[in-house]
Structure formats: C-alpha cells, structure tokens
A and B are shown apart, each in its own frame.
Chain A
C-alpha cells in the first residue's frame, strides 16, 4: 500500500518556511542516550556527528546526557566545572544526595557539554526505583536482565537530573529533553509521570521487536499489521524491554524515527505514527581541490589492486584495469543485511558475464566480522609471493640500470640482448616458478571457527564460486573489520571504500543504513533497497537515483527471486559501464553528499524540537504544521546532461568502444551548477547564541 507522505519526506525546501523565528533564548536542550560518549552501536555515530550542528544552534544551552564509563571518559571526555550556575547547583545537589554525576566536554567536533551519570554507583536504589516503576507504570524488570536494570537506573537518574534542574531554575525554564532508544526511554516516562516542565521527544532508531522478528526469518513486511505484538515480544523474552519502549513512545510529546520504512514499522509495532521522520546525516568532509575524491579513489584502488595481485598469484589471468571491485560491509547478519541475496545475484552475474564473453572481471568483497582464529596461511603466502616478485623485479632493474648507465658513459647505445645476463634470467625464472600454485585462490582470508556452518561459506559452496579462472566473478570473504595495521590488506575502512567501485547493501532490515550514506559522500555509487532508510530517503528526493549512482532495489513489493534478478541486472549494467561513465557517475554521486549533510538533515531535528516545545509549552511557543497539500515535493531532477546511465542508454553491444562515449555531451560544470541550485544554500540557523560562540572551542 502506498503511504501518504508525511511532513518530513515531502520536501527539504518546504521545511524552510517553517518556524525559523523560534526564540530559544531561555530554552535548554538535554539529549539523552545510552551511547553518549559510549560506543556500542550505530546511535553513537548519529549523536557524535550531529553534535556540532546542535552546538551551533543551542550553544551553551545544549547538554548531552549519558552513562559514566570510566574507560570512555579517560579517552573522550575532558572533565570540567559546569559553567552554568543552575546546572552546577543541580549537580552539586545530586552529588550530595548519593549519586555521582560528572560534567565535561566531549572531545568531538563541536565539543558539546556532557553530563555523565554513574549508573553503578546508584545501584543500591534499584529496588526502590523498581517498585516505584511498578506502582506507577505496572512494568516490572526481571533481575537477570542487566541491560534493562541499567536502563531503570539510568531512567530514574535522568528524570532526577531534569527534575532537579527544573527546581534549581529561578524562572520557569523551558526544558527540552530528547531521548534516544528504549534504553533511555524510561527517563521520559518518569518526566511525564512526575509532571516535570519538560518537553519530550523520543527517537527510535529501530524497533526492538522489528530487529528480532526480521532476524527470525519471518516474512516481516507483509505481516506487519498481523503480528500479535505482546505475544511475539513475550515469546522472545523481551517483553519488559518492549513495554519500556512502548511506554516511552506513548508518553512522548513528539515521537520520531529515522526513516520512512521505520515509520511504517513503528506505526505497526509501537502503535504510534511518528510525528516527523528525522533522517541521519553525516559531517561531510569538503576537499579544497575539485575532484580530490577521484584522486583518492585512484590511489586506494591501486592499493586494492596490489592486494589482488598477491591474492590471485598464479591465477592472474584477468585484466586488473577491467576489474570492478564490489563490496558489502556491516554487522554479520546474513539475511538482514542481504548477503544471501548478494551471493545469489553474484552467481547469476557470473553466468551472464560468461555467456556474454565479457572482458570484465568482478571481485566481490565481504567485510563482515565473524569468529576466526587469524589469517590463513595461503592468503599470507600470496602477499609474500607478490612481495618477492616485486623485490626480484627491483633487483633486476638495478642491474639493468647500472649496465645501461655504464654503456651510456662510454658513448655507446646499449645492446639490448646483453643487458640481461644468464644470472638475471635464472633469478627471474626461479621467481616465476615460485608463483606456481596447485590450489585456487582462497575465498576466505581467515581460518573460520565455524567453517562448515558459516552461512556465507555454505552459500559459496552451494553456488560454486571458487575463484576459478573461468569464473568472471571472484569472491573474497574478509571476516574481520579492516585496519590499517593489517598485514594482509593494510587499509582502514574509509580508504577501502574509496578504492572500490560499488557498494552493495541489499538489506532486508536496515532502519537507516550508514554504509551506503558513507559511500555516497565519498563519491562511490551504491546499491541499497527500498526497505532501508537510506534507500527510501534517496528515492524520495531524487528523480532518477540510478543515474546518480544510487541503485535502489525493490525488496518490498517483489518476491525474493524478482529482487535478485533486479540486483543482477543492476550489477550487470554497472559492469557494462566504461571507465569514463563510471567517473561521471562518481561525480554525480559525490554531488549528492550535500543532501546527506547534517546541515540539511539537522533541520528535521529542529522541527521535531519546535514541535515538542509547542506541545509542552503552548503559551510560549506556537508551531504551525505545514499544510501538506501546499508543500511542493522537492525532488532532485535528472542530471542535466544526457544521462549516460546504463539504465537509459544501455548499449546493444557490450563491446562498445570508449570512443562512443566521447560523443555524449557531458559538461561537468554546467551539471554541477544546476544541481547546486536544486539544493538550497546551507542551512542558516536562527542562532540566538552567537554571542556565546566565542567561548566555544570550535577552533580545536
């Protein structure tokens, strides 16, 4: 069923007409999450990257609230005295009443203030607080669920903090509290239960139940409306967590989620339609040189090629210049992340490339951490052999160079046949013999602990992609996060992504999806799905996503087989592109990065905050929801020049020459200018705290 458009996804430009005149002079913003200065999962990235923009908007009145973890504080936080006297009183008061509250600056971009609550220190209050929770909300928390008990302590501490702060204010304050995820949600419920003067926002980045149901191979999206929620949660032993999550959703003034698809999920699984969708952004790094990202791509690609030379030693029967690098990366959730679909599509692509006698070779990387015991010998040997060949070549080159030099010194042109003597040839022959190999290049770079049951390896065995020389599709499974200190592939994740040609993320369950977003800002095309938040967002804002290098699979309304065919055809089309076409496509992709910058996406958060303030303090704030019908949907148009996207200009012959491309009119500057007009100027904040900005250590 098609969704009615919600406010947030209607238009970026439409938002501009909203409430920029909000007076935040006496308002204070607390943003509360378990992952503030505490990296557990993806919410850390959201909060950490968003902080700079929020700091610019709220200045000294912005406080992040998280749990105190000693190791994190030592590495990420500079403890200081609270400059705000009200807050200082609040913290002193709490510290003298038997808790430990720390205050400091989080050493990330924007250097926001953080308030860290020592959850363990107040564990003695757990029973009292749990009975209070029981009396007020009829929710109990099993003693064995440590995380949920931490959530209780954290919730009561945050409610205490907010209540104390309100009490310490001389004038009635306008407090805004933004809670992320169920772990922080109890604080929100308590704020409402105690009738604190706090406007509350609850943001869920995924639903608890959704994650569980999807992981359990349920036909999730087709049955969304049919689940008996209480039963599903209870059967999975997460009923108390689910209750905390739903209670927070129920009590929040404003409820938001990160994407349209999660909004649908929330509507069914949390029984409340999000008031606004707040997509996640990134802090886009701008290079001073134009197209610097293209240079970085070339550099990183060269390093990947080096790795491939070693990995495929003895089987280097393909042209590395006509090799396309694909990758999938993320948590090892085989079907949620779509690794199953990707493997199947690779098998079909292999067939297609073979029957079409394509010159293109595809190498697909799987970067998904699994349980291993270190690298396997064969892969390490590959790199050693490559190194040895390199050394041999260097030695011969030295000797060759010396002879050449000597012959020039005596004024003779060198005799080519004498430049290399027998010894050189012997050395080279020996080196070549060393590259002989009996086995095929390994699929997996590590020794897996659960080799026989591993889902990726099992699928590879089934579809038979063993890196043999006939295969046009080669597979490399790297079951560990990338690191620049690795002896195998010494690159960090960002460098690696820059060196690849296409990221493939055919996820079934992906509330937002930072991986394709990161690809986009680095100018690397990607494949995502209309079940991922990123895919929904891009589909909404770009008229022809695939010409911008954003391929979006339909996994929502198509069967698995159809989706797989669609993925195969995307991949096949991508392989058909010439180098020049790929370069143009990367330029276009990179231009979309403005769309993913917090400077644009932050405004959804701004709207959510205004909405909450207006709901909680109607006498001080007014919020006029935009008339939905008048908001003209803004969409990124087709690229201005003739689209070279294979979707529209698929050549009948796969062997078209590069010369043909030259005919295509492509004016980079013209196109970029048009795109720039389509994206409004960066968000200028109604910043009332500008006078304070001098105090902010932004220079750091």
Chain B
C-alpha cells in the first residue's frame, strides 16, 4: 500500500483561497483518503489561517515562491498574480513524496478519488475550452527537482501563453494531447462547473458520476452567498441552476466539516482539530436573506450573508479557545459519516444547517466591528455561549465586510454610485493616501 509517500497537494495564495483549500482538505478527509494531505501556502497567508489549515492537512508548507531576484522582478513587474503561477510549480519540489495529485483550491471532491494515484505523470483532464489542452486544476505528477528546474527554465525562456500556469504546463507537457491516452483523466475528475451549460444534455446523462467539480472562472463559491432555501428565481451567475447545487454542496462541506469536528469534540473523538472553526459554524447560516437579484441599492435590514471566515484580526482571540466550547444547543450533526457515494444529499445538508442556524442569534453581542448590520442583529434575542461567539461575530463581521465590498463594487459597475455618501471622493482620497508617502 503506497500510502505514506503519496499525497494530495493543494495551494492557497490568498485568504479567500484558503477557504477553498480548507474545503478540498475536508472533503478528501471525509471521503476517507489513505494519502497524505499537503497544502502549500504563500507567505502572505496569516498565521491563524495557516493554523486552521494545519487542522485539516498533514503538512502546511510555506512556499517562499521565488528567490529574491525573481521576487523583485515580479514586484517591479507589478504582476503579483504571476507569482501564483510560479508558486504552483513548487509542488514539484515536494520530493518527500513519490507521487502526488494536485487539486486547485477551487475544486470540490465528491467521493474518494485515491485511484488517481494509479496514473502517471502527467495525467490531467481536458480543458473544456480547448480540449487539446489539459486543465491544470487537477493533475497527477511526480515531484522531482529536475523537472522543477526544467519548468522554471521553460517559464523563463518561453513564458506562458495564457499568462498563467496552465499555459506554461501545457507548453511543457506538450505531447499530452496525443501521446498516451492513459494520461487523459476522464472529465468527471475535473468537471468545470460553469461550463456545464455548454453541453447540458451530457451533464444530465453523466453529471451524477462526477467525482471532482472545478469552479472555474470568476464566480468562486466563496463569492456566492449560500442559498439555504433554493430561491425560485435563478441567480444571474448561474444560467440554469446546476451550479447552485454544487455551490451549496461546497458551503455544506465548508460548514459541515466544522460540524463534524464539533461533533468529535463533544463526543471526545480522536481527531485533534482545534475548535476555532466553530466561529465559522456559528457565523454561517444567516445568508438566506441575501438577495442575489440586482436590487443592491436597497440595504437589507435583515442579517447579511455569511461567507468569509478566518479573519486575520481574530488572532487576539486565539487564546480564548478554551472557552469556546460550544453550547449544547448545537446538536450532533447528521453529516459526519464518511460517504463514498457520488453525490451529497442537499436536503440533508439543509436540515443540518437549520440546526446550525439555531445558534445564530447569539452572535455579535460584543461586537468589535461596528458594522451596522451586525448592530442590527444585536437587537435580536441573545443566547448561548457569548465568549465563544465573539470570534464568530468578528468572522461574521469580516465576511460581511467582504460580501459588502463585493456588492459595493457591483453597484459601481451598474452605475449606482453613492457619490453623496460613502463613495464621496474624500473617502477615496483617504484610501489613496494610504499608499502615497
């Protein structure tokens, strides 16, 4: 059994992607993988994000992606995003493993996929946009310093035709399309979620077999509010509603594992994950009010959506962990049984979340963030372990802030600018002055 020297590898280069990595790790664990889990994080990821990843992954490796000269180069280049490309290549340096499977942080594993380790380097699934190219969101590779330096050399010489890692890898492994069919992973291992609509009948026929969903494109699941009760109108980011299912699954996974963990805690199970993720759990399920239709200008008087946990500001609360044992009001979740079935039952998830939402009114009593929405919630009934929830509420506040920021930008995009209020140039000036001397 080749377990210990094989690993799933993922990568997080920003706080948002940390959420994604976390989900990748959680669902792999939940589906009972026998391989190691490794996450590479860039140095800009905060300590507590790293800590939370450590709970799920066997190894959290900080990749200082570039030697100093190159970093300076990219800095002047003004394209920190290209750094991500080079960071990804770092997975070839994980020579403590003989074979690895790389999963992008925006993927969602739906069942056990350990069979991928039977494949050879470089196995990957075709890209829906250009099937003669592979999509670099899921691929099998063998770590090797030699390959790594060849890749870097290639990058330096030829660059990347699409400006990202996929272009580079496709140029490097240029015979993928024709040489060996065993290196073609079936599309179900890298189902591009937002490409579903391009061939909907095929999706209806084969979609249930999907093993890994890849949220390709600009709408990442963490950008999209969780729909506790599927709305009647189809949101604009999802032309036919299929994506919504996966997004909800993603959120379910995101919260669900925490729940599992909570369950383990309360039942003295053997896992050693910390309980800080409880915060997310509590912060989570208030999203049902978020309106995805374009009435952004109307402030929601109800509670805002949840999305982003893991606030760097929450460091200070790390010491309080001991007190954050959740209240008994959180019932044992029903979701923790590792399931190798192909699909998750959404209904289960919903009921599960209903349970979680029972805790919600307790948050934000001691809010440090002065988000008006949070304050509104304070009027609601307060119950439960308050100290445990203060972190939750700061997470919630941050999630709110991020969500708020997205909505805010969207209002600009639509030409609804609050130029007499918070968009006044004076505020923009303050923002600009932050980077001026």
Partner of B417, one of A137, A144, A166, A234: A234
User: Per DSSP, are chain B's interface residues mostly helix, strand or loop, or mixed?
Assistant: helix
Interface residues in A110-168 (C-beta closer than 8 Å to B): 125, 127-128, 130-131, 134, 136-144, 159-160, 162-164, 166-167
Q: Does A97 contact B (CB under 8 A)?
A: yes
Q: Which residue of chain B is the closest to A169 with respect to CB atoms?
A: B76
Cβ of A462 under 8 Å from chain B: no
B436 and A251 contact, CB distance less than 8 A: yes
A177-200 vs B, CB cutoff 8 Å, 1 = contact: the mask equals 000000000000110111110000
Among the listed B73, B167, B428, which residue makes an inter-chain contact with A138, where contact means beta carbons less than 8 Å apart?
Answer: B428
Taking a contact as CB atoms under 8 Å apart, the answer to whether A240 and B412 are in contact is yes
**A98 contacts B162, CB within 8 Å?**
yes
Q: Which of A143, A195, A231, A243 contacts B413 (CB 8 A)?
A: A143
Which residues of A464-482 are within 8 A (CB) of B? none
- The verdict on A309 contacting chain B, using a C-beta distance below 8 Å, is no
**Would you list the 6 A-B pairs with minimal beta carbon distance, nearest first?**
A140-B412, A96-B159, A167-B76, A234-B419, A98-B163, A163-B78
Are A141 and B160 closer than 8 Å at their CB atoms?
no
* B431 nearest CB neighbor, chain A only: A138
Check A247 against B432 for contact (C-beta < 8 Å): yes
Complex partner residue of A192 from B405, B414, B436, CB under 8 angstroms:
B436
* Interface residue A626 (Cβ < 8 Å from any Cβ of B): no
Given A96-B158, A164-B76, A251-B432, A237 contacting B415 (CB threshold 8 A) = yes
Of the candidates B159, B411, B419, B435, the one whose C-beta lies within 8 Å of that of A193 is B435
Complex Cα distance A637/B431, Å? 50
Give every chain B residue within 8 A of A130 (Cβ-Cβ): 409, 413
Q: Is the CB of B420 within 8 A of A142?
A: no
Interface residues of A (CB under 8 A from B): 93, 96-98, 125, 127-128, 130-131, 134, 136-144, 159-160, 162-164, 166-167, 189-190, 192-196, 229-231, 233-234, 237, 239-240, 242-243, 246-247, 250-251
Given A131-B409, A142-B414, 14 further pairs, Cβ under 8 A: A96-B160, A97-B160, A130-B409, A134-B409, A136-B431, A140-B411, A163-B78, A190-B78, A237-B415, A239-B417, A240-B412, A243-B425, A246-B425, A251-B436
**Are B163 and A139 neighbours in the complex by a CB distance under 8 Å?**
no
A149 to chain B, nearest CB (A): 10
Q: How far is the CA of A162 from the CA of B78 in the complex (A)?
A: 9
Asked whether B427 is an interface residue with its Cβ less than 8 Å from the other chain, the reply is: yes
Provide the bound-state CA to CA distance between A97 and B427, in Å.
Answer: 35
Q: Chain B residues with Cβ under 8 A from A143's Cβ?
A: 413-414
Q: Which of A196, A229, A230 has the most CB of B within 10 A?
A: A230
Q: Name A142's contact: one of B76, B415, B419, B425 (CB within 8 Å).
A: B415
User: Per-residue 0/1 for B400-437: is the Cβ within 8 Å of any A Cβ (1 yes, 0 no)?
Assistant: 00000100110111110101100111011101110110
Contact B77 A239 (CB under 8 A): no
A127 to B237, CA, bound (A): 15
Query: Within 8 Å CB of A234, what residues of B?
Result: 417, 419-420
What are 22 A-B pairs at a CB distance below 8 A? A97-B79, A97-B160, A98-B160, A98-B162, A128-B81, A130-B409, A138-B423, A138-B428, A139-B428, A140-B412, A162-B78, A163-B78, A163-B79, A167-B73, A167-B75, A196-B76, A230-B419, A240-B417, A243-B428, A246-B425, A250-B429, A251-B432
Task: Identify which of A190, A234, A242 gathers the most chain B CB atoms within 10 Å of its CB.
Answer: A234
Q: A residues within 8 A CB of B419?
A: 230-231, 233-234, 239
A193, B428: Cα distance in complex, Å: 13
Q: Give the total number of A-B pairs whose CB atoms are below 8 A apart.
A: 112
Q: Is B295 engaged at the interface, CB distance under 8 Å to the other chain?
A: no
B174: min CB distance to chain A, Å: 16
Could you say which residues of chain A place their CB within 8 Å of the CB of B218? 127
Which of the four size classes fits the interface of chain B? 35 or more
Give a binary string over B57-79; 1 marks a CB under 8 Å from any A CB, 0 the rest.
00000000000000011111111
Please name the residue on chain A nearest to B155 by beta carbon: A96
Q: Residue B424 contacts which of A125, A164, A230 (CB distance < 8 angstroms)?
A: A230
Say whether A166 contacts B76, CB under 8 Å. Answer: yes
Q: Within 8 Å of chain A (Cβ to Cβ): is B173?
A: no
Given A160-B78, A237-B415: A250 touches B160 (CB 8 Å cut-off): no
Residue of A nearest to B428 (CB): A138
Report if B161 contacts A (CB, 8 A): yes
| Chain B: minimal CB distance from A207 (Å) | 13
* CB–CB B73/A189 < 8 A: no
* B82 interface contact, C-beta 8 A: yes
Cβ-defined contact, B413 with A192, below 8 A: no
- Residue ID in chain B nearest A189 by CB atoms: B432
Chain B CB within 10 Å, residue with most, of A162, A192, A239? A239
Contact of A137 among B74, B82, B161, B432 (CB under 8 A): B432
Which residues from chain A contact B158 at a C-beta distance below 8 Å?
Answer: 96
Given contact pairs A166-B76, A167-B76, A234-B419, A142 touches B432 in the complex (Cβ within 8 A):
no
> By the criterion CB–CB under 8 Å, are B76 and A163 in contact?
yes
For the complex, give the distance between the alpha carbons of A251 and B79 in Å.
20
A243 and B419 alpha carbons, distance in the complex (Å):
10
B409 and A195 within 8 A (CB):
no
If A140-B413, A142-B414, A230-B425 touch, does A167 touch B77 (CB 8 Å cutoff)? Answer: yes
What's the least CB distance linking A250 to chain B, in Å? 5
Q: Mark B139-165, 1 if CB is under 8 A from A, else 0.
A: 000000000000000000011111100
